[in-house]
């Protein structure tokens, strides 16, 4: 049986970084060393350097598959298995095979080669890793349908990142080394943006770093290595649930921030029974702080707190542990020893331990609370058992007393103390111990009927008897206390989980919290009120006989609880709920304020801009027209024909400009009122582009057209689309230098059509791009022919009314590209019905997406995200 082959994967952040070239280069190196190497499949994508690197290597012929009349070529797995090279070069691990292939995915073909004992060198991009697919889509806006399961890559013997700086990759793309010229602009403006490439590069390096970290942990586990390897700074902060937690977390975060890539981990240890010694409200606040500081929160179980903390630190390969100075005073420390901190320092080994002082350190001696964990009824029963059982037992022991019965007498009284402890807790047990000790000495120890002790050893025996009785009763009482606390903790956890579930299921956060509070504490009613209104209410108050507990919630709300008074332990849980209520109220107030302020601010901004524009832009054409008409009337007889024609032309141009400005103002008012009439039909975008060129009288000397002849029809309004194209071309021509042309292209991406208007002017700073779509904004332009600054505002409104987008992008080499993205029209009905009827603005449209078989890199680069035309600057 052949040994399984080894997989080596070359990982790239994006297409074009050189993965295939590096794979072929490695193949040539191995072949030069005498290794049997064959190229199972390689995708050159027309790149000359990649094709040249493949020369001289043996290439296994591909298999031809006919799909829907198209011949597709795929890797011939059977031919590679028959050839059986030592190393097979397989490009694009995430590739989807043609239908009717043996496997659906190429990585499955590779698995078969590896099972046959053939080593494989393959390539994959970071966007094709299954676990990162959604992250990459959020970064680039491009969904990836071809993915590789993470376990396939993690099972590889070696994963290497083929790295290339983002700007260097863009330079390669602009130089034509990655894609053909017609695809360069769209690629640079969308998928290959500098920010996208930087994020993808970081994602690839982080994925590899995580893989290396897991491999290191696996190696340490296999070899039983417990010592710390400081490959990365990891700071573990121990939390007790006390007030010092915030101080420790901030100190730990500063320590982790001193080294690049440092990690912050907070850990809280609970006992085996699930009880928490700390304050749940403080732990909740500290957990939220951990996430704000960029760390992670962990909870481990262990009765030996120092051992549990040190074991956790070693498991995560921590380099430093942060603990706080003990809150116990000097007397408590002297009586019980140095405490947990000293034990952690002793067991930490080579891990550094930081002991941080804080405001709660050494607060002094506090006496333990002596209140039992049992009910009053059980404590009364315990005392009755001691009072009744003690005399009865004494009568019985005195009646059958003998010289040899002293041992059984002592054990009988000891049994009575244990029973009193089981029934009533520590105080009845102490009472029974003292009473039985006196009774034993008086009735059963020589000399009888006295409380004197004739032999010192008898005195010691009596003392030990009382001590044992106290210890037994303390253990019993402690067990009862822990049992009750465990039940309480389970109820608290269930309550918090129920509250969280109510909110997640869509219930309002404030009503859900109020309702669950009433249910959890068994109240008759619970209300959250302010001075002006009742925010939430659950249950009905029982008139004036109700006991009302009021709890402040922030500065302006109060939680009213109608029912029995809450115990101290219940108030601790209530503090957690109040914190959540306060956050929910604040969030609700912010949302309301934002909704109220947003339209007011927008209206005020538009009003101010309108007044400024009217006083500046409308006055110029109006003054010019008035002056021309006045000149005609005043000097009618003395004017020559040429002067008269010039004045008439000036008046005509000014009045035309004035009419256009008024029309734009009316359109803007319709857009803002939401009453713009949009009639969307299926039509060829060229039917709107060509009339726009005719309207502006533009020829090949000013505009370069690159229209896709196979462009599908769009679902839009042809009249509005023509106005949009006219506006965008006018703006682009205004900022295009003499001798240069404006470029207008169309293309398809998925179920959308893109219209691009490209100029090579000065461009627009990234921070000002949102301003160009605000009405009455011209970015400082004072040209009288520029209008009111409504062109782009109207264009975006028209496009969005047609369910599209309009946004600006950088032109490679300088300038601005405005991209209009419109939805593809729905396919015609099967019965041959005509195009869809006109729809109002905002009506939903859907279109099926038909994707021809493409390579993974071609799919990744084809993105053209829409939006934008040149602003009035």
CA distance 94 to 280: 48
pLDDT greater than 60 at residue 857: no
- What confidence score (pLDDT) does residue 530 get? 83
Q: Is the peptide bond before 76 cis (omega within 30 degrees of 0)?
A: no
Task: Tabulate helix, strand, coil % of the chain (nearest 5).
Answer: 50, 15, 35
Task: Calculate what percentage of the chain has a pLDDT beyond 90.
Answer: 10
Q: Sorting pLDDT into bands at 50, 70 and 90, what band is 577?
A: confident
Mean pLDDT calculated for residue range 97-112:
88
Contact 12, 19 (CB under 8 A): yes
Residue 859 confidence (pLDDT) above 50: no
As a whole number, mean pLDDT of residues 849-861 equals 35
Query: pLDDT tens digits for 488-524?
Result: 666 666 666 655 555 554 456 788 778 777 777 778 8
Predicted confidence at residue 223, as pLDDT, reads: 52
Q: Which pLDDT score is estimated for 84? A: 92
Kindly list the structural domains of the chain, giving each domain's residue range(s) and its CATH number in brackets, ordered by start. Answer: 7-222 (3.40.50.300), 234-356 (3.40.50.620), 376-482 (no CATH), 600-672 (1.10.287.130), 681-861 (3.30.565.10)
pLDDT in tens, 218-263: 555 555 555 544 456 788 999 887 888 888 888 888 888 776 567 8
Residue 371, pLDDT > 70, answer: no
Q: Which residues of 733-744 are buried (b: 16+ CB within 10 A; e: fewer)?
A: bbbbeeeebbbb
Higher pLDDT residue, 761 or 280?
Answer: 761
Say which DSSP state 34 is in: T
Top-confidence residue, 600 or 622: 622
Q: Is 348 helix (H, G, I), strand (E, B) or coil?
A: coil
Q: Categorize the per-residue pLDDT at 278 as very low, low, confident or very high, splitting at 50, 70 and 90.
A: low
pLDDT at 125 over 80: yes
Q: Which pair of structure tokens corresponds to residue 385?
A: 């058992």
Distance of CA 112 to the CA centre of its chain: 37
Nearest CA to 300 among 285, 310, 290, 286?
310
What span, in angstroms and rounded, lies between the C-alpha atoms of 405 and 132? 80
Res 330 pLDDT > 70: no
Look-up: residue for tokens 């296999």? 222
Between the alpha carbon of residue 834 and those of residues 383, 831, 860, the distances in Å are 95, 9, 35
With contact defined as beta carbons under 8 Å apart, do 744 and 854 qualify? no
* pLDDT (0 to 100) of residue 783: 44
Q: Would you state the pLDDT for residue 673?
A: 55
Contact 461, 437 (CB under 8 A): no
**Per-residue confidence at 671, pLDDT binned at 50, 70, 90?**
low
CA distance 441 to 434: 11
The answer, yes or no, to whether residue 430 has pLDDT greater than 70, is: yes
| Res. 755: pLDDT tops 90 | yes
Do 600 and 568 contact (CB within 8 A), yes or no? no
866 falls in which pLDDT band (50, 70, 90)?
A: very low
- Average pLDDT over the chain, rounded to an integer: 75
Contact predicate 804/810, CB 8 Å: no
Map residue 655 onto helix, strand or coil. Answer: helix
Higher pLDDT, residue 521 or 723: 723
Instruction: Kindly report, residue by residue over 296-311, the tens digit of the pLDDT.
Output: 888 877 777 888 888 8
Q: Which of 606-610, 661-665, 804-808, 852-856 has the lowest mean pLDDT?
A: 852-856
pLDDT band at 113 (very low <50, low <70, confident <90, very high): very high
Q: For residue 626, name the pLDDT band (cuts at 50, 70, 90).
A: confident
What distance in Å separates the CA atoms of residue 644 and residue 609, rounded to the nearest whole number? Answer: 37
Give the separation between CA 231 and CA 261, rounded to whole angstroms.
10
pLDDT of residue 746: 92
pLDDT of amino acid 744: 93
pTM beyond 0.75: no
Q: Which of 102-111, 274-283, 622-631 has the lowest mean pLDDT?
A: 274-283
Which tens digit of pLDDT belongs to each residue from 48-64? Answer: 888 888 888 999 998 88
User: Residue 476, SS3?
Assistant: helix
**Residue 63, beta-bridge partner list:** 74
Q: Which residues pair with 747 in a beta bridge?
A: 754
Name the pLDDT band for 830 (thresholds 50, 70, 90): very low
Helix axes 340-347 and 305-315, enclosed angle (nearest 10): 40
Instruction: Round to whole Å and give the CA distance between 229 and 213.
Output: 11
CB atoms within 10 A of CB 214: 11
Helix (H, G, I), strand (E, B) or coil at 180: coil
Note whether 260 and 206 are within 8 A (CB). no
pLDDT for res 342: 79
Rounded Cα distance between 39 and 53, Å, is 12
User: What whole-number distance in Å separates Cα of residue 550 and Cα of residue 535?
Assistant: 15
Q: Where are the alpha helices (DSSP H) in 400-455?
A: 406-424, 426-444
């Amino acid at each position: 049986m052949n040994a399984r082959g080894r997989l080596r994967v070359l990982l790239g952040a994006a297409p074009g970084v050189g993965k295939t070239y590096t794979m072929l280069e490695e193949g040539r190196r191995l072949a030069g060393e005498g290794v049997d190497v064959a190229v199972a499949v390689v995708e050159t994508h027309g790149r000359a350097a990649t094709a040249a690197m493949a020369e001289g290597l043996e290439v296994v012929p591909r298999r031809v598959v006919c799909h829907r009349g198209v011949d597709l070529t795929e890797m011939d797995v059977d031919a590679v298995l028959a050839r059986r090279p030592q190393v097979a070069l397989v490009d694009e691990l995430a590739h989807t095979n043609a239908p009717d292939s043996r496997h659906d995915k190429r990585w499955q073909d590779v698995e078969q080669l590896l099972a046959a004992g053939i080593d494989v060198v393959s390539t994959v991009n970071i966007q094709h890793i299954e676990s990162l697919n959604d992250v990459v889509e959020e970064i680039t806006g491009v969904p990836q349908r071809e993915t590789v399961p993470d376990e396939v890559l993690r099972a590889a013997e070696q994963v290497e990142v083929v790295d290339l700086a983002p700007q260097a990759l863009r330079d390669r793309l602009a130089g034509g080394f990655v894609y053909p010229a017609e695809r360069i602009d769209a690629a640079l403006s969308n998928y290959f943006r500098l920010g996208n490439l930087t994020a993808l590069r970081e994602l690839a390096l982080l994925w590899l770093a995580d893989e290396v970290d897991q491999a290191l942990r696996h190696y340490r586990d296999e070899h039983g290595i417990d010592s710390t390897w400081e490959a990365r700074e990891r700071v573990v902060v121990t939390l007790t649930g006390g007030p010092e937690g915030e101080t420790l977390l901030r100190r730990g975060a500063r320590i982790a921030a001193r080294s690049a890539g440092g990690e912050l981990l907070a850990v809280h240890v609970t006992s085996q029974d699930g009880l928490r010694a700390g304050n749940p409200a403080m732990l909740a606040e500290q957990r939220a702080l951990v996430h704000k500081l960029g760390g992670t929160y962990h909870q481990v179980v262990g009765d030996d707190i120092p051992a549990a903390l040190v074991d956790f630190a070693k498991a995560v390969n921590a380099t430093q542990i942060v603990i706080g100075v003990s809150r116990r005073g000097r007397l408590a420390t002297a009586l019980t020893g140095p405490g947990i901190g000293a034990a952690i320092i002793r067991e930490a080994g080579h891990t550094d331990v930081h002991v941080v002082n804080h405001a709660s350190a050494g607060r002094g001696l506090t006496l333990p609370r002596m209140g039992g964990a049992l009910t009053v009824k059980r404590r009364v029963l315990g005392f009755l058992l001691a009072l009744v059982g003690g005399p009865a037992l004494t009568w019985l022991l005195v009646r059958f007393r003998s010289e040899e019965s002293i041992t059984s007498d002592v054990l009988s009284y000891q049994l009575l103390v244990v029973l009193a402890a089981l029934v009533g807790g520590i105080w009845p047990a102490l009472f029974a111990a003292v009473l039985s000790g006196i009774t034993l000495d008086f009735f059963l120890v020589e000399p009888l009927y006295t409380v004197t002790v004739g032999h010192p050893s008898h005195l010691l025996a009596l003392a030990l008897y009382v001590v044992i009785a106290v210890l037994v009763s303390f253990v019993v009482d402690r067990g009862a206390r822990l049992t009750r606390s465990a039940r309480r903790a389970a109820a608290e956890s269930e309550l918090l989980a129920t509250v969280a579930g109510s909110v997640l299921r869509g219930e309002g956060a404030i009503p859900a919290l109020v309702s669950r509070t009433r249910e959890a504490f068994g109240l008759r009613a619970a209300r959250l009120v302010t001075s002006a209104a009742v925010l939430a209410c659950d249950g009905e108050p029982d008139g004036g006989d109700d006991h009302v507990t009021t709890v402040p919630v922030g500065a302006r709300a109060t939680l009213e609880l109608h029912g029995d008074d809450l115990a101290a332990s219940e108030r601790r849980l209530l503090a957690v709920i109040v914190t959540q209520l306060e956050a929910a109220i604040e969030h609700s107030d912010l949302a309301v304020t934002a909704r109220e302020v947003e339209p007011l601010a927008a209206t005020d901004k538009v009003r101010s801009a309108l007044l400024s524009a009217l006083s500046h832009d409308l006055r110029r054409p109006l003054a010019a027209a008035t002056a021309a008409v006045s000149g005609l009337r005043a000097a009618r007889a003395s004017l020559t024909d040429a002067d008269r024609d010039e004045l008439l032309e000036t008046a005509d141009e000014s009045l035309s400009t004035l009419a256009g400005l008024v029309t734009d103002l009316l359109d803007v008012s319709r857009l803002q009122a939401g009453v713009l009439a949009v009639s969307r039909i299926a039509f060829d975008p060229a039917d709107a582009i060509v009339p726009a060129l005719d309207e502006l009288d533009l020829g090949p000397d000013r505009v370069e057209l690159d229209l896709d002849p196979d462009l599908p029809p769009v679902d839009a309004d042809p009249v509005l689309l023509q106005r949009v194209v006219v506006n965008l071309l006018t703006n682009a021509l205004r900022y295009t230098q003499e001798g240069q042309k404006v470029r207008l292209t169309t293309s398809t991406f998925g179920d959308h059509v893109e219209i691009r208007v490209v100029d090579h002017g000065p461009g627009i700073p990234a921070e000002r791009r949102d301003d160009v779509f605000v009405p009455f904004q011209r970015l400082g332009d004072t040209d009288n022919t520029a209008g009111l600054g409504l062109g782009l505002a109207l264009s975006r409104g028209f496009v969005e009314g047609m369910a599209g987008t309009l946004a600006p992008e950088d032109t490679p080499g300088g300038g601005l590209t405005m991209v209009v993205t419109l939805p593809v029209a729905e396919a015609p009905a099967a019965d041959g019905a005509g195009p869809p009827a006109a729809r109002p603005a905002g009506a939903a449209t859907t279109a099926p997406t038909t994707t021809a078989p493409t390579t993974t890199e071609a799919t990744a680069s084809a993105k053209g995200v829409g939006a934008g035309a040149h602003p009035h600057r």
